[in-house]
Amino acid sequence: MADNSFSDGVPSDALEAAKNASNAEKLTDQVMQNPQVLAALQERLDNVSHTPSSYIETLPKAVKRRINALKQLQVRCAHIEAKFYEEVHDLERKYAALYQPLFDKRREFITGDVEPTDAESEWHSENEEEEKLAGDVKNKVVIAEKEAATPEEPNPKGIPEFWFTIFRNVDMLSELVQEYDEPILKHLQDIKVKFSDPGQPMSFVLEFHFEPNDYFTNPVLTKTYKMKSEPDKADPFSFEGPEIVDCDGCAIDWKKGKNVTVKTIKKKQKHKGRGTVRTITKQVPNDSFFNFFSPLKASGDGESLDEDSEFTLASDFEIGHFFRERIVPRAVLYFTGEAIEDDDNFEEGEEGEEEELEGDEEGEDEDDADINPKV
């Protein structure tokens, strides 16, 4: 019987392997001739070759060693920056004391405890000429209607609902306010910022001062924000200045039946054995601005918060920072809406710049095609 394991002195296994290799080579040639495949491969190679980390990996050990030395210097810079922000906090405390007499006078004008003088009330607006013309017209109308009995213009005490109007004007705050919060916020007379004392851990306190009301007995509600100004040991390069790390609220002494942070619901229960049904009442949490004074606590035991809790805490920190940096220092401009218009214009300007930059980049591509470089 003939032996088929050899053909012309070449083993059959070797012939089969050569055949498979030839087929694979043909398939590779066909794939590589596909322009879409080539483009995808090129894009992947470009991405790999241009990432900073991949470039660093290609450097000699001696260069990597010097880079590590630069990182040590960067950490030291971060610690100096932290000290800088601590001194900034000291300056904020110093100047807060200079602002406070002005803010105290602001409160007196708002509450009506003090009436501003004519000199204090004088203000030259941008539309002064238009207002003057309008005033002249109004005076003529008044003279013409002098004979008619007109009701006297009301003169309420101070500036009614000053802080409540700010809450209503600012989206970040109005989103927190429920309809049943509104009558309470109308009793708000002042908001103050108090900085931590020298030598104490960095923090600030928001004080909400209320006139006597039918809802709670506290004259002042407080919210304390604790801050940190030091690089994280695990990630020192992420340091960008002081950050709020935790906050504490205060207990509100609600008068009977006036607590808007809870609501009473009725629930029917059926007895398993007897089949009888009873109605029970229980209190459950209720949406309210005044939950602001019962904040979620940051995890201090190393356990991570869930995504919703992290979002809630981050939003709380953002609101506290906004009160401190924007609302309290510039209250009258948020009352009139001028600060809100400025904020909106600034945001629109940023968007416009981004669009313009994108347009410029597109234009550069088109121009590049028309450029005829000179040697």
CA nearest neighbour of 202 among 87, 350, 337: 87
Give the residue extent of every domain in the chain: 21-58, 82-115+157-343
How far is Cα 278 from Cα 293, in angstroms, rounded to an integer?
35
Phi-psi map region of 196: left, alpha, beta (phi>0 left; psi -120 to 50 alpha): beta
Please state whether the predicted TM-score (pTM) of the whole model is above 0.85: no
Q: What is the mean pLDDT of residues 61-67?
A: 90
| pLDDT digits 0-9 by tens, 281-320 | 888 999 999 999 999 887 665 566 778 888 888 899 999 9
Query: What is the residue-averaged pLDDT of the chain?
Result: 81
End-to-end CA distance of the chain: 79
Higher pLDDT: 334 or 130? It is: 334
Q: Are 331 and 261 in contact (CB under 8 A)?
A: no
Architecture category of domain 82-115+157-343 in CATH: 2-Layer Sandwich (3.30)
Tell whether the model's pLDDT for residue 260 goes beyond 90.
yes
Pairing mode of beta strands 6-7, 10-11: antiparallel
| pLDDT digits 0-9 by tens, 8-59 | 555 566 566 666 666 666 666 666 677 776 676 666 656 655 677 778 888 8
Rounded alpha-carbon distances, angstroms, from residue 188 to 166, 173, 344 = 11, 14, 26
| pLDDT digits 0-9 by tens, 139-192 | 665 555 555 555 677 889 999 999 999 999 999 999 999 999 999 999 999 999
| pLDDT digits 0-9 by tens, 186-242 | 999 999 999 999 888 899 999 999 999 999 999 999 999 998 888 888 888 888 888
Q: Which helix (H) or strand (E) holds 12?
A: helix 12-32
What six digits make up the tokens of 356?
Answer: 């313009």
